[in-house]
Amino acid sequence: MTNAAATLLVGASTDFLRNFSPFNRMEAEALSFLAERAVLAFHARGSDILTPEMGVPRHFHIVQRGKVQARQTGSTAVTEYASLTLGPGECFPIGAISARRPSTNAYVAVEDSFCFQITAEDFLHLMQMSPVFHLFCTQYIASLLNQSRQQLQTTFAQRAAEQQTMTTSLGKLVTKEPVFVTAETATRAALERMSELRLGCMVVVDAERRPVGVVTPVSYTHL
């Protein structure tokens, strides 16, 4: 590639980056560093750009064209979203590449897409030379940690509630007057009552209000 062609490519990359935050606020030297090292890569629709199985990310990606979906993997939710679609100007994987660990997300091209990419080493150097970029990445990681903390609190609260419910006596769970019908109650009246109260079954009692059976809508399909 000639010097003139390389200069044109760097200029085009710079012009693109200036349309998006935080690149439009970055120092001139840092932006030039990024544009000079960014390589445009093509990713076909449905292809994996990055997955946890690939290990520690080797590149930092900036979507140039197309759409990339970030999907959480594993049985435990880390953030409030299960999937997120990234468009032009958005980048990944900030948290994983900063911590030098495998990503917790799988990044898949939703459609034919192009992404600028720089090496992990260049990404870390860019953080050191650009206070603006460093702040952006730090705030992003802090946001992820906050979402993760909230998600864990929600999960623990749900589990605690489930455990409490399983150990609570039935008497404490019953807060309403019992609903029942007598053996003399007409079929239509019983069904209407069940529908009104949105019940799946109802206890049948005798004259002394002792349970003698249970009826459900299925009971009437055999009449």
pLDDT digits (tens, 9 = 90+) for 17-67: 999 999 999 999 999 999 999 999 999 999 999 999 999 999 999 999 999
Rounded distance, CA 57 to CA 184, Å? 72
Q: Where are the beta strands (DSSP E) in 120-210?
A: 180-182, 202-205
Check which CATH number belongs to the domain holding 180 and give it. Answer: 3.10.580.10
In a domain, 165, yes or no: no
Instruction: Indicate whether 54 and 127 sit together in one domain.
Output: yes
Under the banding of pLDDT at 50, 70 and 90, the label for residue 161 is low
Mark whether 41 and 122 lie in a shared domain.
Answer: yes
Query: Do the domain assignments include residue 43?
Result: yes
The pLDDT of residue 221: 47
Is 61 among the domain residues? Answer: yes
Confidence class of residue 108 from pLDDT cuts 50, 70 and 90? Answer: very high
Please give the DSSP secondary-structure letter assigned to residue 177.
-
Q: Which residues contact 199 (CB under 8 A, 6 or more apart)?
A: 179, 193
Q: Kindly state whether residue 218 falls inside one of the protein's structural domains.
A: yes
Looking at per-residue confidence, does 220 or 131 come out higher? 131
214 and 124 assigned to the same domain: no
Predicted confidence at residue 174, as pLDDT, reads 64
Res 113: pLDDT: 98
pLDDT per position as a tens digit, 72-82: 886 554 455 66
Q: Which carries the bigger pLDDT value, residue 27 or residue 155? A: 27
- How does pLDDT run across 164-218, given as a tens digit for each residue? 666 666 666 666 677 778 888 877 667 766 766 666 677 888 888 788 887 776 5
Q: What is the mean pLDDT of residues 64-71?
A: 96
pLDDT of residue 87: 96
Please check whether residues 99 and 204 belong to one and the same domain: no
Domain-located, residue 163: no
Together in a domain, 129 and 209: no
What's the token pair of residue 17? 């980056």
Using 50, 70 and 90 to split pLDDT, how confident is the model at 148? low
Please report, for the domain that includes residue 97, its CATH number.
2.60.120.10
Q: What is the pLDDT of residue 93?
A: 94
For residue 107, list its beta bridge partners: 50, 70
Task: Indicate if 100 and 208 belong to the same structural domain.
Answer: no
Same domain, 125 and 28: yes
For residues 73 and 13, membership in a common domain is answered with: yes
Question: Which whole number is the average pLDDT over 112-132?
Answer: 96
Output the pLDDT for position 14.
94
Instruction: Name the residue with higher pLDDT: 7 or 199.
Output: 7
Extract the tokens encoding 31. Answer: 């932006």
164 located within any domain: no
- Boundary-marking domain end, from 150, 168, 203: 150
112: confidence class by pLDDT, cuts 50, 70, 90: very high
Q: What's the structural domain count of the chain?
A: 2
Check whether residue 58 and residue 143 sit in a common domain: yes
85 located within any domain: yes
Name the residue range of residue 214's domain: 176-222
The per-residue pLDDT for 59 is 97
Asked if the bond preceding 22 is cis, omega within 30° of 0, the reply is yes
Residues 44 and 132 in one domain: yes
Q: Which residues of 175-206 are buried (b: 16+ CB within 10 A; e: fewer)?
A: eeeeeebeeeeeeeebeeebeeeeeeebbbbe
Does 97 share its domain with 45? yes
Same domain, 128 and 195: no
Q: Has residue 90 been placed in a domain?
A: yes
- Angle, to 10 degrees, between the axis of helix 120-129 and the axis of helix 28-37? 170
Max CA distance (Å), the chain: 100
